[in-house]
Structure 1
């Protein structure tokens, strides 16, 4: 048995010192010192030896076990240090190499336009209010003077979740909620995402963005609406751009007007971009309908106000000369890098 222990000592020591990696070293530890290892079995079976051999074998076995544990620990540390050096060698930075430019991101063009519009209205004393995208039918239609039987419902095919719940088709519900919850005077804009059932093409998307605005106070008139919108349009498109108001119809405003800006490409002379009219439509507006004020708990004999709404994609298309609305949603890095 003594010769066997000596043989194991020589073999195990050599194998441990020649272990190429930590995985191989662990296999050797299990082979000799594991639960069923060679040294462990000898120590476990000492009771089967003659009484006079037990103390000798026990002493030699424990001594061998301790030695192997030390040899394995030393080799383990050597392998760790070697692995560390190898890793550092691979990760070494060559300071003589040409530097690599970081690819920094930027805000999406739609976010940039929303931020620009918001900054303009903040400068005019407006606050920013948000509301739910999953909206009640009442706030999306009925409270805006669009009852279930109103023909204007045909203008906006909607994504209904239930009979009374839908994805909002505009951010106007935010205006209604604000009138219900806020004391006059009110001066807010409501940017956000909206949804309508549209086929995807160069000019339409079932998901797009709006910025709508509302101002309610005593003695608010259409001239206030014109003054603010002309200021905003010139801030967005330049002081040299002309602004035109055209009579229109919206169920929630009366009187109502579409707002056009002179075409930047032709200077108002007429071209293919503006369909030879010299004008580009950018938003709708009007004085808040008395019925809408009443349904929101306001007295139309005491207060008045105006509302407006603009499509963010429409503004971005006109500002940057983009020809296809789908570009905003395709995540093409070549397109986004331009902004």
Structure 2
């Protein structure tokens, strides 16, 4: 999803049970908004405990009471500090056909790609063009940097020449590790960590064409897409659960620590603090660790500018169904 500048060794996770009184700002949140988003993916969470909760939603419960009655707040830590970032759905000019300024392809998933196994690197795909002529091009963009950041975000809208909009979502990736191009610029001494953002990286790559191209190749991870134009324009893009995500209520997490679809309480610090109940409905290559989350901001340039300003500390607490939480805490005493 978003860019990350941190890379530390994670310790064995610890689990601490909290109360709802321990959650800063819990009483003042809009629990109904969170409940609506939770309902969107509740039925997609495996396990009898989740099934029972989803059935209870049919009784139209009081939102705050629902979360407080059926969930337990659990703080999961792995020795690394909390990092919140933001991501968005880009809206880019493009065409279904190559021509004029439209020269940079958005590829569908190749039929010879095996999930989890290494495939061609970003550099090989760009330079050697092993995918050309295989009818994999979903659309063509005008800017290779736009294509790179579309892959970082994982979804986007393509504004076609006739005024219509094509939507693309994550289809798969090449089995190569994600690495931060922002961190690469910091390591070279080009920028200080606090200076790096998507806009800064974008401008640097465009101003340093050959070096910029080589910089993007340092991130060998390459994302393939699928067309998802059936998703209504007024709804958010599809997340990792194949459901539309919601600005300001959906976050991307590391599913090794957080069950996809689970409610998650966040306490984000920074220039614009945020204490809010979110739903973990997405993932991302850069989102690794128990205290790591990417907040979905929305669609378009304004959302992109806001997302690019988020790089904040805080803490994240997972709300687990009571039986699962008690079993987990008992196991890790």
TM-score of the superposed pair, with normalisation by structure 1: 0.19
Query: Whose relative contact order is higher, 1 or 2, with alpha carbons under 8 Å and at least 6 apart?
Result: 2
Question: Greater share of helix residues, 1 or 2?
Answer: 1
Question: Greater share of strand residues, 1 or 2?
Answer: 2
TM-score of the superposed pair, with normalisation by structure 2: 0.19
Larger-Rg structure:
1
